Amino acid sequence: MTKELIKGNEAVVKAAILAGCRSFYGYPITPASEITEAAARYFPLAGGTFLQAESEIASINMVYGAAAAGERTMTASSGPGISLMQEGISYLAGSELPCVIVDITRGGPGLGNIAPEQSDYHQVVKGGGHGNYRTIVLAPNSVQEMCDLTFLAFDLADKYRNPAIVMTDGFIGQMMEPVEFPTTSVEAPARPWAVLGNAETRNNLITSIYMSPDELEAHQRHLEAKYARANRGEELFEAYRTDDAEVITIGYGIVSRILKTAVDQAREMGIKAGLFRPITLWPFPDRQIDIIADWTKSFMVVELSNGQMVDDVRLAVNGRRPVNFYSRGGGNVPTVDELLGQLIKVSEDSYVRENISESEELFWGV
C-alpha cells in the first residue's frame, strides 16, 4: 500500500527510510516525539540503526559520526533541542557532512510550551551556531510535503555536502492526512570521501579545523562559493493567484494554508489578493518576491512569531512597496476570519495611499 492516512511526524520517518536513510539518532521532545518513536519502530525493520541518545548534544554528534562514515543519517527535535544541537550543526557544515535534521517548532523562548510556533526561523535559517555557514531549509505545509521534502532534503544535503533542515510548525507535524509514498526505495549515493575504516579510505580526512588563517579563509571561500551556487537555483516557492494581485500575502507552514482560504474569500469580495509561499526558507526566494513587487500594491506577511521571516521579505522588496506584518504567538494560530479582516484592512490602506493627492502626502507621511 503506497497511500496511507498518517501523521506528519511519522511520514518523515517512512520517507527517510525510502530515501535511503539508514540511521537515526535522537532524543524525544514534544511536539516532535512521534518522529523518534516511529524511528525506533521502523529503522530496525529496514535493517538500519536507531539509537536514543542521552541528549540532543549527543545525538547530533552521533549524526556527525554516521555521516562521516558515509551513511544517509538524520535526527529530529524541537526548539530547545535544536538550540542544543547548534554547535554540532556548525561542525557538520564545517566538515561538509550531509545529513537531515527535522525541526517541529514549538512555542518559546525558554521552555515556552508545546503549541505550534514559527519562532525557530532565525536560529535555523540564519545559522544559529558559530562561524560562517548556511543550512538548506525546507518548509512543508502538508503531510504529503513532509514526505516529499524529506526526500528532497536528503538529495540537497548530498548535492552540496551540507546539513539540510526540514522545518515546520507543530500543527503540520501533528496533523494526519493521506500521503502517497513512493513504491520503491532509493539507494544512497556512493560517498568516496567517507571514512570507512578500511585501507581504501585510510587517507580520507573529515575535519573542520584549519589552524592556518590562510587555510581557514580558503575553506570559508570554498563554502561561500557552494552556498552561492545553492542560492541561484534551489529556491522553491508556490505562487497562488498572484498574477493580478494587488495585495499579496506571504506565509509558510500552517499559516500558508489558512492564508490560501482567506485569499479565496477576499477574491469573492472583490479584493485582488494572492499568496506567495516560500518552500525553501534558505535559499530564500527573494528574487521572485522582487519580481512580484513590480505590479502588486502591498504585501502582508503573517507569522507565528514576533517577526522573523518578515525581515527577509523587507530586504527583498527593498522599500518599493509597503510590507505589512501580522503575527500570533504563544502557540495561537489565526483563523481565516482573522486573516481576512487583516487583508481587508491592508487593501483599504493601499487604496487610500494610491488615491491621496500630492498635497496630502505630507499629512499621510507617504
Same domain, 206 and 283: no
List the one residue out of 284, 133, 104, 320 whose CA is nearest residue 208. Answer: 133
- What range does the domain containing 209 cover? 3-230
CB 299 within 8 A of CB 110: no
pLDDT band at 352 (very low <50, low <70, confident <90, very high): low
Q: What is the mean pLDDT of residues 141-170?
A: 98
SS3 state of residue 105: strand
Residue 74 in this model has a pLDDT that exceeds 50: yes
Same domain, 125 and 153: yes
Same domain, 215 and 346: no
Residue 195 in this model has a pLDDT that exceeds 80: yes
Last residue of a domain, one of 203, 230, 257: 230
pLDDT band at 2 (very low <50, low <70, confident <90, very high): confident
- Between the CA of residue 41 and those of 20, 186, 329, what are the distances in Å? 16, 20, 34
DSSP annotation of 140 reads -
CB 119 within 8 A of CB 310: no
pTM of the entire predicted model: 0.94
Work out the percent of the chain whose per-residue pLDDT is above 70.
95
pLDDT tens, 231-285? 999 999 999 999 999 999 999 999 999 999 999 999 999 999 999 999 999 999 9
In sequence order, which residues have a C-beta less than 8 Å from that of residue 271 and are 6 or more positions away?
246, 247, 343, 344, 347
pLDDT tens, 274-306? 999 999 999 999 999 999 999 999 999 999 999
Same domain, 177 and 245: no
Same domain, 81 and 165: yes
Same domain, 244 and 182: no
What CA–CA distance (Å, rounded) separates 80 from 76? 12
Same domain, 131 and 225: yes
Last residue of a domain, one of 230, 264, 295: 230
- Between the CA of residue 218 and those of 125, 207, 222, 232, 329, what are the distances in Å? 24, 14, 6, 21, 42
Same domain, 214 and 276: no
Average pLDDT, the chain: 95
pLDDT at 362: 44
CATH number, residue 257: 3.40.50.920
Higher-pLDDT residue of 346, 366 = 346
Total number of domains constituting the chain: 2
pLDDT tens, 87-137? 999 999 999 999 999 999 999 999 999 999 999 999 999 989 999 999 999
Same domain, 178 and 92: yes
pLDDT tens, 8-36? 999 999 999 999 999 999 999 999 999 99
Question: E strand or H helix at 250, and its extent?
Answer: strand 247-250
Q: Which amino acid is at 337?
A: D
pLDDT at 67: 98
SS3 state of residue 181: coil
CA atoms 71, 77, 83, 84: torsion sign? negative
What CA–CA distance (Å, rounded) separates 252 from 23? 29
What CA–CA distance (Å, rounded) separates 52 from 38? 12
Last residue of a domain, one of 181, 200, 230: 230
DSSP annotation of 182 reads -
Same domain, 89 and 196: yes
CB 141 within 8 A of CB 172: yes
pLDDT at 349: 83
Same domain, 216 and 265: no
Same domain, 166 and 27: yes
Question: E strand or H helix at 18, and its extent?
Answer: helix 8-18
pLDDT at 1: 57
Please tell me the least confidently modeled range out of 10-19, 20-29, 180-189, 204-213. Answer: 180-189
Beta bridge partners of 277: 238
HEC secondary structure over the chain:
CCEEEEEHHHHHHHHHHHCCCCEEEECCCCCCHHHHHHHHHHHHHCCCEEEECCCHHHHHHHHHHHHHCCCCEEEEECHHHHHHHHHHHHHHHHCCCCEEEEEEEECCCCCCCCCECCCCHHHHHCCCCCCCCCCEEECCCCHHHHHHHHHHHHHHHHHHCCEEEEEEEHHHHHCEEEEECCCCCCCCCCCCCCCCCCHHHCCCCCCCCCCCHHHHHHHHHHHHHHHHHHCCCCCCEEEECCCCCCEEEECCCHHHHHHHHHHHHHHHCCCCEEEEEECEEECCCHHHHHHHCCCCCEEEEEECCCCCHHHHHHHHHCCCCCEEEEECCCCCCCCHHHHHHHHHHHHHHHHHHHHCCHHHHHHHCC
Residue 351 in this model has a pLDDT that exceeds 70: no
What CA–CA distance (Å, rounded) separates 10 from 6? 7
In sequence order, which residues have a C-beta less than 8 Å from that of residue 232 and are 6 or more positions away?
283
pLDDT band at 355 (very low <50, low <70, confident <90, very high): low
CATH number, residue 116: 3.40.50.970
